[in-house]
Amino acid sequence: MSARGADPQLTLALFNTTQHDFASFEPGDNGEALRAVRQWSQRSGPRIVHLRGAASTGKSHLLQAAIAALAPQGVRAMVLPLRELLAAGAAVLDDLDSVDMLALDDIDACAGDADWERQLFNLYNAVDGSERYLLWSARAEPAFALPDLASRLSASLIYQLHELCDADKARVLRARANARGLAMPEAVLDFIMLRERRDMTTLMALLDELDTAALAKGRALTVPLVREVLAART
């Protein structure tokens, strides 16, 4: 069955996973946004919050962390990565009335699609007229063709996320390596930060590769191993 013909609720079930928590989020200059999302997950702040920032600034991390934090509270909550769900069709946003806390990632991916924009507009109104909560993110201000949807978005409490500095990125990379039981010497860290693209998505993908290579070869994490992994890409 094609993605467009897939059952929307089955599609939601497949994507409704969280991989991050607040403890593993390095705020850098995003402390205010982190506090706002924590409050959102505790239902102690505004009910509708919007995060905006370029790729690799931590939007998806914060949305997943917010939903993960709700699990012990017995609240029905869900995070939807819209960029990945586009092919399934806007019907994936149907029948979400029972979801108390909803996080929508990458809403800008829906801009220009009349069906998706209409569904987002209806969902916003449904949430705004209830006691439910909505957290949504976009890489930039979405170019929505539906004026009413654009105005609803601008009425949200908006937090701009900023990219981490290199020192913060290096600290996150080492912490994630240590969490995997993978010791990362200073020389290795310096080599990676000098030779690799320094956005967090790229760095985390490289860490996955290094973890796999170190395990497969039974070797410690060294500069020669990093060289081998990088060379294998070409």
Tell me the β-bridge partners of 50: 136, 158
Length of the chain equals 234
> Residue 8 above 70 pLDDT?
no
Whether domain 8-160 has CATH 3.40.50.300: yes
For residue 135, give the H/E element and its range: strand 133-138
Q: What is the pLDDT of residue 9?
A: 52
- Sign of torsion, CA 119 9 130 155? negative
Which residue blocks in the chain are alpha helix, DSSP H? 8-15, 31-41, 59-70, 82-85, 114-128, 147-154, 166-179, 186-195, 200-217, 223-232
Which tens digit of pLDDT belongs to each residue from 81-121?
999 999 999 999 998 998 999 999 999 999 999 999 999 99
Phi, psi of 221 (to 5 degrees): -80, 110
Tokens of 41: 């997950």
Q: What is the pLDDT of residue 73?
A: 85
For residue 103, give the H/E element and its range: strand 101-105
Q: How far apart are CA 177 and CA 182, in angstroms?
A: 5
Q: Mapping DSSP to helix (H, G, I), strand (E, B) and coil, where does residue 138 land?
A: strand
Q: Tell which residue, 224, 75, 47, has the closest CA to residue 152.
A: 47
Q: Mean pLDDT over residues 174-192, rounded?
A: 95
Tell me the β-bridge partners of 48: 134
Please list, in sequence order, all residues whose beta carbon lies within 8 angstroms of the beta carbon of residue 230, skipping any fewer than 6 positions away: 195, 196
Q: Where in the chain is the domain with CATH 1.10.8.60?
A: 166-232
Q: Where in the chain is the domain with CATH 3.40.50.300?
A: 8-160
Distances, alpha carbon 22 to alpha carbons 10, 37, 158, 232, in Å: 28, 9, 19, 34
Q: What is the pLDDT of residue 1?
A: 32
- Candidates 1.10.8.60, 1.20.140.10, 3.40.50.80, 1.10.3720.10; CATH matching 166-232: 1.10.8.60
Confidence grade of residue 221 (pLDDT, cut at 50, 70, 90): very high
Which tens digit of pLDDT belongs to each residue from 161-174?
999 999 999 999 99
Which of 15-29, 46-60, 162-176, 195-209 is predicted with the least confidence, judged by mean pLDDT?
15-29
